[in-house]
């Protein structure tokens, strides 16, 4: 799990200052690409963290073949769904 802020709008929309819902989950409208050391990780969820205000959650799978170490960059890139 990766926690972040400022991933943008969600579907369904959640009003500013309200906690992320659990049912239905508030999915990110812009799907992030999350590369670890240049290799994109498969995502299982991206949206508001349930029960948290202004906190986004990204659930990604880090496979055993992924690069290891504290110096390996993890980035979050957004692409808008048309």
pLDDT digits (tens, 9 = 90+) for 5-59: 999 999 999 999 999 999 999 999 988 999 999 889 999 999 999 999 999 999 9
State the pTM of this model. Answer: 0.87
Domain of 13 in residue numbering reads as 2-80
Q: How many domains does the chain have?
A: 1
CB 58 within 8 A of CB 34: yes
Instruction: Report how far Cα 49 is from the mean position of its chain's Cα atoms.
Output: 9
């Amino acid at each position: 799990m990766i926690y972040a802020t400022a991933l943008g709008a969600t579907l369904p929309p959640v009003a500013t200052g309200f906690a992320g819902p659990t049912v239905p989950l508030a999915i990110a409208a812009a799907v992030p690409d999350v590369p670890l050391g240049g290799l994109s990780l498969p995502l299982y969820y991206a949206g508001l963290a349930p029960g948290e205000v202004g906190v986004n959650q990204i659930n990604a799978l880090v496979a055993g073949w992924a690069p290891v170490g504290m110096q390996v960059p993890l980035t979050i890139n957004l692409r808008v769904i048309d």
